[in-house]
């Protein structure tokens, strides 16, 4: 169920990088189910074909192009393919990312660089190429998917945390530089999202953590992230730019991690006013 009319994005075109899997696929689905033509791109053709078929079966106008976001020529070819369809481009979602959990002592320079290249350089490549090719003259919305690591250490995720913090910085600068062209640039920073490969890999390395540590009492799902991107893609967000929103059920603001114990504490609190 959605808070938005199902045609709220009718006539719009959305490019979702990494749109064949996980959160990106749910973003593509949600934008598509609200009327947008969606175009997904990533490296593995089998996954692109399978997800495109699934989304089309749901009535979504979906196309794909193989693309490595680290390679500007590859990104340009994808954007040319998209624009060649003659419907323009309104929404860019930089969702593609690399991730593997490891302590700093076990990450090679190549592994660290790969994540920075996909997450940060990829976001820069796709944004810049989409702006030069279309958005500068037509306006639009860019949403960068990052992660809520700002101001904190992130064990086993040094490479991802560094790259995502830089993506958040890029989000703010792009919003400032491109605002005059009618381009809004925002970020969504998801907490742990259930049923994703990223969380499965992290849980395998670091163990599971349950919903009790999350103030809202449940683990996030891909739809929570997709709905946030949907909102930012509509006219309802027409004056919002340069913001990075954390979507994590308030986990990252629970400084002392007390959320899971509060119900018991309140029930057993001594019968006097403090
Ligand atoms: P995922 O399933 O691993 O998806 C990553 C996607 O990026 C895949 O479709 C992958 O496809 C694509 N990709 C990787 N390298 C690429 C490249 N060089 N060029 C183009 N595409 C590339 O990840 P997810 O868990 O859904 O996460 C989606 C986003 O949310 C990411 O930005 C992630 O950092 C962020 N996030 C996730 C969580 C979570 O709990 N899962 C939490 C915080 C933030 P190919 O391999 O086929 O290229």
Determine the pLDDT at residue 210: 78
- Residue 200: per-residue pLDDT: 83
Distance in Å from the first CA to the final CA of the chain: 43
Confidence of residue 152 (pLDDT cuts 50, 70, 90): confident
Q: What is the pLDDT of residue 165?
A: 96
Q: What are phi and psi of 241, to 5 degrees?
A: -155, 150
Q: Identify the residues whose C-beta falls under 6 Å from ligand 1.
A: 17-18, 20-24, 42-44, 47, 67-70, 95-99, 118, 122, 145, 147, 190, 192-193, 196-199
Indicate the average pLDDT of the chain.
95
The class of domain 13-267 in CATH terms is: alpha beta
The pLDDT confidence band at residue 273, using thresholds 50, 70 and 90, is confident
How many Cβ atoms from other residues are within 10 Å of residue 223's Cβ?
17
Q: What is the tens place of the pLDDT at every residue in 199-225?
A: 888 888 877 777 888 999 999 999 999
90, 211, 100, 83: which is closest to 160 by C-alpha? 100
In the prediction, which pLDDT does 205 show? 83
- Do you know the residue count of the chain? 274
The preferred substitution site among 44, 96, 164 for testing ligand 1, maximizing ligand atoms within 8 Å of CB, is 96
138 CA distance to ligand 1 centroid (A)? Answer: 28
Q: What is the percent of the chain where pLDDT is above 70?
A: 100
> Quick one: tokens of 273?
């006013």
pLDDT tens track for 14-25? 999 999 999 999
> Within 13 A of 135's CA, how many CA atoms are on the CB side?
28
Q: Where are the domains of the chain?
A: 13-267
The upper half-sphere exposure of residue 182, i.e. CA atoms within 13 Å in the direction of its Cβ, equals 10
pLDDT of residue 176: 98
Which strands, in side-by-side order, build the sheet including 91-94?
62-66, 37-42, 13-17, 91-94, 140-145, 183-190, 244-247
């Amino acid at each position: 169920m959605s808070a938005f009319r199902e045609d709220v994005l009718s006539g719009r075109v959305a490019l979702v990088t990494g749109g064949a899997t996980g959160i990106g696929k749910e973003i593509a689905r949600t934008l598509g189910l609200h009327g947008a033509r969606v175009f997904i791109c990533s490296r593995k053709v089998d996954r692109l074909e399978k997800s495109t078929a699934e989304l089309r079966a749901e009535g979504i106008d979906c196309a794909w192009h193989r693309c490595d976001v680290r390679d500007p020529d590859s990104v340009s070819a994808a954007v040319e393919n998209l624009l060649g369809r003659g419907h323009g481009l309104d929404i860019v979602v930089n969702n593609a990312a690399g991730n593997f959990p490891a302590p700093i002592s076990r990450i090679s320079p190549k592994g660290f660089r790969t994540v920075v290249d996909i997450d940060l350089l990829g976001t820069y490549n796709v944004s810049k190429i989409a702006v030069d090719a279309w958005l500068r003259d037509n306006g639009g919305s860019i949403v960068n998917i990052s992660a809520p690591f700002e101001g904190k250490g992130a064990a086993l995720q040094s490479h991802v945390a560094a790259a995502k913090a830089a993506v958040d910085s890029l989000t703010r600068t792009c919003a400032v530089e491109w605002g005059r062209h009618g381009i809004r640039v925002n970020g969504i920073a998801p907490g742990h999202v259930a049923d994703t490969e990223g969380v499965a890999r992290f849980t395998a390395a670091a163990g599971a953590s349950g919903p009790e540590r999350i103030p809202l009492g449940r683990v996030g799902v891909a739809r929570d992230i997709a709905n946030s991107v949907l909102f930012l893609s509509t006219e309802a967000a027409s004056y919002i730019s340069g913001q990075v929103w954390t979507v994590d059920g308030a986990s990252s603001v629970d400084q002392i991690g007390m959320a899971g114990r509060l119900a018991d504490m309140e029930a057993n609190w001594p019968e006097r006013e403090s």
